[in-house]
Chains A and B, each alone.
Chain A
Amino acid sequence: MPRSPSSPPDGQKHVGRRVFLGIVGVGALGIVFGARVQNVVGSALGSGLGGLLPGGDRFRIYTITDSFPSISDSHYRLKVTGLVDRPTTFTLDDLHAMPPTRMVKDFQCVTGWRVPDVHWEGVRLADVLDATGIQPGAKALEFDSYDGLDTESLTLDQARRSDVIVAYRMLGAPITTEHGGPVRLYVAPMYGYKSIKWLSAIRVVEDAVPGYWEQNGYSIDAWVGGSNGRSDQPID
C-alpha cells in the first residue's frame, strides 16, 4: 500500500525531525534573545567562571600581529608629536602623576560580544592634549601601537570628550599585556577597535589617515549603535 511520506509506518514517529528542528529553533531564539540571556548568565557566573565559560563576561583578545608586544612599565613611553606646542614623551609615572579619571562602562565589540561594567582608570586624553598644547589648524589625531601595525584615529572633538581616556588600569588592576597594557586608549562611546592597545604614539594632524581597522572596512566614526549603517540601540 502506498504511503504518503508524512505518515510514518505503524507505531513510528518523526522524532528525528522534531529534535533537529528543535535544535535549529533554539539556536534561532538564541540569536534574537541571546544578548539578554547572556546578561543574566554573565552576572550569575561573575567574572571568575564567567571569564572561562561561554556566555559569561569575557573579552575576546584580537591581535593583528603574531604576538603580543611586551613592554615593561619602566620602558613604556608615549610620544605626542605633530601640531603641538610642546612635543612631549610621557613615561608611565608621568601619566600616573596627572589627575586620574575612573569610569565603569561596557566594552562593546563591533562583532557583537560585550563585557558589561568594566572598571577603567587613566588620564583624560583632553588633559594630555592640554599638557602639550594644540596648534591652530589641528583637527584630528592619529594613534600608533607598540605592535607596529595597528593604528587608529579620532577627530579632535571626539578626542576631547570626557569619556575618552589614556587608560593604565582596567578590571581593577594594571592593564595586562593581552588587554593592551601597560597603556591603551579607551574610547567609551565607540566600538572596541577604536580603543587601540599598547598605545605608543599620538600625532596631532590636520587630516588623519584612517586606522588599521578602518582600512579593512570598519567605520571611522565608530559610535556604538550608530555605526555601520545600522540603527542599533546605544548601550549606555
Chain B
Amino acid sequence: METEVIVFLILAFVAIGSAIGMIINKNAVYSALFLILNFATVAIFYLMLGAPFIAMAQVTVYAGAIMVLFLFVIMLLGAEQLKKADKGEWQKPVAILFVVVLIVEAVYLIFGGGGDLLPMINEVSEVGDPISLATKLFKEYFLPFQVTAVLLLAAMVGAIVITKQDKKS
C-alpha cells in the first residue's frame, strides 16, 4: 500500500508537471513531447488501477499514433522554429541522473524480483483485461458504444465539410 501511494505521488507530480510544461512551452515540439510524457504517465495510472488493456491502448494509440501525427503536422507547418537561446547544456547531468535511476530500477526489478511492486502489477482484476472489456463494451455498454460511433461519424463529416474547398472558388 505504501509503495502504491509513493508511486502515485511521483506519477501525479510528473503528470501535472508535464501538463504545465506542455502549456507554457513556446516550442510546439517540446509541447508535444511533454504531452507524450503526460500520456505515458496516465497510462501507468491505468496500469496501477488494474486496467492493463487501457494502459496499452493509451500508449499505442495516444502516445504513439496520435502524437506522431501531431509532430508530423507541427513539422510540416514549420511551427517548431525556436529562437536560439538555450543550447541545453544543463540537460546532460539531469539526463545522466535519470538514466542512473532507470538502471537501478531495472536491476532492482530483474534481480530483486520486483519486491512489493510485482503483486501490484499482478493484481489485474477482471475489470481491465481485453475479454472483460469487450464483454462490457458490447453488452452492458452497447448503446454508449454505438452512440460514440455515430458521434465520431458526425464529427468527421462535419470537419471535412467546413474545411473542404469549394471547387469553383
Specify whether A and B are partners: no
Residues of A within 8 A of B (CB): none
Residues of B within 8 A of A (CB): none
